[in-house]
A = this chain, B = another copy of it.
């Protein structure tokens, strides 16, 4: 048997899970209809309401990864000919256009330079009466944060659909206060849980205007309501699909850890780690990629210095130090690095380690500021 590999997961996700989340994965498995599992599921939905900042009854972990959350958001709200305005300031905005298009939407993509936050005025004026306005809160591809509250304030009659994959559990997120109607996220970033579930929330306003029989059976929120015992208590569950019980138990434990620490304390911990990292990178003469004022603390983007081979540095980091950082996304694959300090990794010691490892790798390839 080969030695067990341990990695410092400082890329754009997954991050190293909270220890409680890992331990819960290996607990004795429960059946998906076991009364104890239903209790864990209910509590998980409650805890998700807290991290989403919502009172939405329809808040649940979908049984697939964050990208399926995106699909669920569109397939339940958009059908043939609906107008969807998408703020595109990175890869995940682009993906929204693809997914909405497959639902038959008339997509209006509002393009931005990558690394910039969403231009709220341009997005709100892109169409007079869209059914949906969609935007990414924290663009995983660029490290930029956008102002979802401002989109919510100006959305008018439209539904506001928000990608919170890289923001949830890491930075301020207040779905109800900000006017988010539909939101999806992932478990493997700031929530500090392995990938595999998509925390999802939809309010009554959006649910009432949903596509009643969406093209997807698996992601049909009308059917999924029964699955989590919506409005009927544990006794009234209807079987939809077999819940991924180990992953739900792990999410339950990860969320428990976050709420024990206190959500605002967790946000502050991410804020501090990101600031320390970004200061350290700048001190070394490296240039940050995301626009100043819009930089995410949990995901830092930094330009690969002129003349340095991105892949070679990442290989040294991984093989010599067990440190994973991410390449850039899309056309920035070779010219940007993405360094995540998410969930359990949002700690000063992780900052020290990643900076020291980067110093070593850059010295090895002969770079001097």
Contact = CB atoms under 8 A, between A and B. Distances in A.
Given A5-B28, A7-B34, A13 B242 contact: yes
A34 B17 CA distance: 16
B217 A95 contact: yes
A244 B63 contact: no
A195 B32 contact: yes
A64 interface: yes
A26 interface: yes
A149 interface: no
Given A25-B25, A244-B195, A31 B215 contact: no
A30 B14 CA distance: 8
A67 interface: yes
B28 A194 contact: no
Interface string A232-258: 000000001111111100000000000
A31 B6 contact: no
Interface string A48-74: 000000000000000111111011000
Contacts of A6: 28
B30 A5 contact: yes
A27 interface: yes
A4 B27 contact: yes
Contact of A30 (B7, B65, B214): B7
Interface of A is mostly: loop
A312 B14 CA distance: 44
A20 to B, nearest CB: 11
Contact of A14 (B31, B102, B214): B31
A36 interface: yes
A2 B188 CA distance: 26
A241 B63 contact: no
Task: Give the oligomeric copy count.
Answer: 2
A8 to B, nearest CB: 10
Interface in A178-219: 186, 188, 194-196, 213-218
Given A29-B22, A99-B217, A194-B244, A65 B68 contact: no
Given A32-B14, A247-B247, A67 B218 contact: yes
A20 B121 CA distance: 54
A93 interface: no
A36 B242 contact: no
Nearest to A62: B64
A191 to B, nearest CB: 13
Given A68-B218, A71-B218, A218-B64, A246 B25 contact: yes
Nearest to A189: B242
A27 to B, nearest CB: 6
A32 B186 CA distance: 14
A38 interface: no
A143 interface: no
A25 B7 CA distance: 15
Contacts of A324: 31, 34
Contact of A241 (B65, B75, B318): B65
* Complex A-B, nearest 10 residue pairs according to Cβ-Cβ distance, in ascending order: A196-B244, A64-B64, A194-B246, A67-B241, A26-B26, A25-B25, A6-B28, A195-B242, A68-B218, A71-B218
